Amino acid sequence: MPKLSDPLVIRGKQIKNRIVMPPMVCFSFQGDHGWVYGQQYVDHYAKRAQGGADLIIVQSTPVGGATEKLGVWSDEQRGPLEAIAGNCHRCGAVAMIQLSCGNVDINRLTVEQIHRMQADCVAAAEVAKQAGFDGVEYHFAHGFTLCKFFDPGFNRRTDDYGGSLSNRARMITEMLPRIRELAGQDFIVGVRMGGNIPDIAGAADVAGALEKAGVDLLHISFGMTIPINAVPDGFNGSAITYNGSQVKKQVNVPVIGVYEIDPGRAKFLIENGYLDLVAVGRGMLADENWANKVLAGEAVNECRRCGDNTRGCRWFDDHTQCPARE
């Protein structure tokens, strides 16, 4: 079985260890000059790359305006993105960015609106490639717009984007050939999806369809709701993490697991073959050197688990108030 320190290669990109910094929105950060991103973000990701996380996924970034190269996708605002990717590379880390499509009711979208959304998703990937990123992750999780396409309970469309599994996955599968054409064969395309859409078996089916279509990396979180399924005795992890381990059994592409993963759990999940990579969110906010410390067998500054869920985390309101960083 692999160890946390073992490398993994995806599309020719070597990830030197199995620790991932997942996408987490920094609500209290400010972009420079009124832009979306700025030096605060550049420093934030550089510190985690220096701290040993070898796959960095930049926070969820809306694709709107990408086709016209507006906002964050404009040439003017590309500087911070280039700096983030460049700093990751200087630390030997692989850099990706998560792409999202907001939160709308997909059942009300026209086919033309879906095609426009797809065009923005593809254009954003092209700009990300130009900015130096090694790949993108599409946000098909947490009940947001793209997640709703996958879920058979929510998706009530009767056209080519609803009904059968191939139709529900069409939102991403139609985009892949164009992404490969524009971003190249060495560009990683990942999908963050729920391990409960609507259950583990359904998620495994979706994951298999994505693998068959050419998706390189699956990041298993939750779908329309947080899962409440039981976790078997002996499994050291949450229901979200367990569901990810079950999806992994059905695919050959690498699978990232997430949610409340501490150092002990990280080693357990990788060394027992439950997952290929582990994403550490709040732990890495509390200690920017989390990865290096865990790989060296050192103690980390532990997340204090403010609140009952991630929305209770102090970082969601004001990152300077995180008690673990005192």
Q: Is residue 289 part of a domain?
A: yes
Per the domain annotation, does 238 fall within a domain? yes
Name residue, tokens 């030997």. 92
Quick one: residue 233, left, alpha or beta (phi over 0 = left, psi -120 to 50 = alpha)?
Answer: beta
Task: Tell me if 134 sits within 8 A of 191, measured CB to CB.
Answer: no
* pLDDT category of residue 231 using cuts at 50, 70 and 90: very high
Q: What is the CATH number of the domain that holds 168?
A: 3.20.20.70
pLDDT of residue 130: 97
pLDDT band (50, 70, 90) for residue 167: very high
**Residue whose pair of structure tokens reads 């880390």 in the numeric block:** 93
Q: What is the CA radius of gyration of the chain?
A: 19
pLDDT for residue 123 is more than 90: yes
Mean pLDDT over 39-54 rounds to 96
- Bridge-based pairing of strands 8-10 and 13-15 is antiparallel
pLDDT band at 57 (very low <50, low <70, confident <90, very high): very high
- 8 Å CB contact between 257 and 269: yes
Give the total number of structural domains in the chain. Answer: 1
Tokens of 213: 């279509």
**Which pLDDT does position 307 carry in this prediction?**
66
Q: What is the pLDDT of residue 301?
A: 87
Confidence of residue 1 (pLDDT cuts 50, 70, 90): confident
- Determine the pLDDT at residue 305: 79
pLDDT grade, residue 280 (50/70/90)?
A: very high
Please give the model's pTM, rounded to 2 decimal places: 0.96
Does 3 map to a domain?
Answer: no
Domain contains 84:
yes
Q: Is the pLDDT of residue 70 over 90?
A: yes
Is 243 in contact with 195 (CB distance < 8 Å)?
yes
1 in a domain, yes or no? no
In the predicted structure, residue 67 carries a pLDDT above the cut 80: yes
Q: Is 89 helix (H, G, I), strand (E, B) or coil?
A: helix
- pLDDT at residue 246 is higher than 80: yes
Cβ contact 293:34 at 8 Å = no
- Residue 215 carries which DSSP code? -
* Mean model confidence pLDDT for the chain: 94
> What range does the domain containing 208 cover?
8-325
> What is the reported pLDDT for 311?
63
Assigned domain for 242 exists: yes
Q: Give the CA distances from residue 8 to residues 14, 42, 59, 92, 207, in Å, rounded to whole numbers and listed in that order.
A: 6, 25, 22, 13, 20
> What average pLDDT does the segment 5-12 reach?
97
Q: What is the pLDDT of residues 296-314, one digit of tens each?
A: 999 998 887 776 666 677 7
Domain-embedded: residue 307: yes
At 238, the amino acid letter reads S
Cα–Cα distance between 19 and 167 in angstroms, integer?
33
Q: Who has greater pLDDT, 212 or 315?
A: 212
Q: What pLDDT is stored for residue 324 in this prediction?
A: 79
Q: How far apart are the first and last CA of the chain?
A: 37
Exposed e or buried b per residue across 180-195, where buried means at least 16 C-beta atoms within 10 angstroms of its C-beta: eeebeeebbbbbbbbb
- Candidates 87, 107, 85; CA nearest to 96 is 85
> Is 103 a residue whose pLDDT tops 70?
yes
124 contacts 196 by C-beta, under 8 angstroms? no
Q: How far apart are CA 308 and CA 57, in angstroms?
A: 24
Strand, helix or coil at 79? helix
DSSP 144-207: SHHHHHH-TTT----STTSSSHHHHTHHHHTTHHHHHHHH-TT-EEEEEEES-SSSHHHHHHHH
Residue 192's pLDDT band (boundaries 50, 70, 90)?
A: very high
Whether residue 2 is contained in a domain is answered as no
